[in-house]
Structure 1
Amino acid sequence: MKALTNLVNQTLAWLTISISTVLVGCVVWQVLSRYVLGAPSTVTDEMARFLFMWVGLLGAAYATGLKRHLAIDLLTMRLTGKRKACSELLVQLAVAGFASVIMVYGGLGLVNKTLSTGQISPALGLPMGYVYLCLPISGIGILFYCVVDSLDKLKTLTSPAA
């Protein structure tokens, strides 16, 4: 499981860095074309918006895996042992519920709906369903990390030492 987690971490890190690099390039070109050339590029404007969605959501999945996401853990910090593990497990179940229902199920519904209606982006001409794929993909990543962390918490809860 550790090797699979490392592979997912590396893949998400590589994707996030690559998308961020292209995003910066789009924004720099947008600024140059607007202020230096006097003719703003509509393609890079739209591409930057779509890449920002992807980098934000994939970055959220990556941050979840590294346990670097935003959390309100005042209660959990005060707990120890099995109570702490139980509290963390409940949080993981809530996150998994959100990721599965809203991000994966709802995201797949959105992707299917936009692909079936043939909605395309104005400047790039991309089917919008492909743009919205970032929702279910990042949701699956978050679910993966929730399962890994929940299994770890269950080991803690079932071990006699804790």
Structure 2
Amino acid sequence: MRNAIDTLLRSTIVVIFSILVVCVSWQVISRFILGTPSTSTDELARFLFMWLALIGGAYTLGQRRHLAIDLLTLHLSGRRKMISELVIIGVIALFCAIVMVYGGGQLVVRTLSSGQVTPSLQLPMGYVYGAIPFAGLVMLYYCLTFCRDLFAGRSLNTDAAAFGPLD
């Protein structure tokens, strides 16, 4: 299941990035060559960038390629290292659960119930903000897999080079 989620996230990131490149390119062409900027592509690019950043952050966490200050855990071993990693994963999971899933979910619900829409595309703003709880849920999933791996005796190597190429 983990590989399927990784592949889905990776594919989603590529698709969003591709659409983002087209939107920004069209924005440049319409503004500087045609002289009439496209407001819809400008708005779409902003929202896609938000989704791209949050999904990309979740994927990066899942690959353990995120920025980490691992000065302490590099010098630990055995049970102490496992406890340290569990505490770190717990703090990440707590943040994701409270801020991203719960807080982001509340933001989505409030925004959808208020009927707020985007100025140009007329999309419900709740869909735009939906990236927050979605990314939080994905990050929680990865935290659970990390805990499972730790309890199964597999080390969570934080060295990005240990993972090899991304395909």
Larger mean CA deviation between 147-156 and 14-23 belongs to 147-156
Alignment of 1:87-102 (within 5 A): 87-102=84-99
1:154 counterpart residue number: 151
Alignment of 1:128-139 (within 5 A): 128-139=125-136
* Cα shift at 1:85: 1.5
Alignment of 1:69-148 (within 5 A): 69-148=66-145
2:39 counterpart residue number: 42
2:51 counterpart residue number: 54
User: What runs of 5+ residues in structure 2 fail to find an aligned partner?
Assistant: 155-167
Aligned AA (1:80):
S
TM-score by length of 2: 0.90
Q: Is the contact made by 1:76 and 1:87 (CA closer than 8 Å) also made in structure 2?
A: yes
Separation in 1 of the partners of 2:142 and 2:114?
A: 33
**Which of 55, 59, 63 is matched with 1:66 structurally?**
63
Q: Deviations over 1:114-144 (max 9, x none)?
A: 0000000001100000111100110000000
Separation in 1 of the partners of 2:81 and 2:34?
A: 58
Q: Is the contact made by 1:63 and 1:69 (CA closer than 8 Å) also made in structure 2?
A: yes
Aligned AA (1:25):
V
Secondary structure in 1 aligned to 2:123?
Answer: coil
Matched length:
154
Bigger proportion of residues as helix: 1
* Cα shift at 1:84: 1.2
Separation in 2 of the partners of 1:59 and 1:5?
A: 16
1:16 counterpart residue number: 13
User: What runs of 5+ residues in structure 1 fail to find an aligned partner?
Assistant: 158-162
Separation in 2 of the partners of 1:40 and 1:79?
A: 56
Larger mean CA deviation between 35-44 and 148-157 belongs to 148-157
Secondary structure in 2 aligned to 1:119?
Answer: coil
Q: Deviations over 1:54-91 (max 9, x none)?
A: 00000011001100011111111111122112111110
Secondary structure in 2 aligned to 1:69?
Answer: coil
Q: Is the contact made by 1:85 and 1:156 (CA closer than 8 Å) also made in structure 2?
A: no
Separation in 2 of the partners of 1:148 and 1:57?
A: 19
- Whether 1:30 aligns to 2:27 is yes
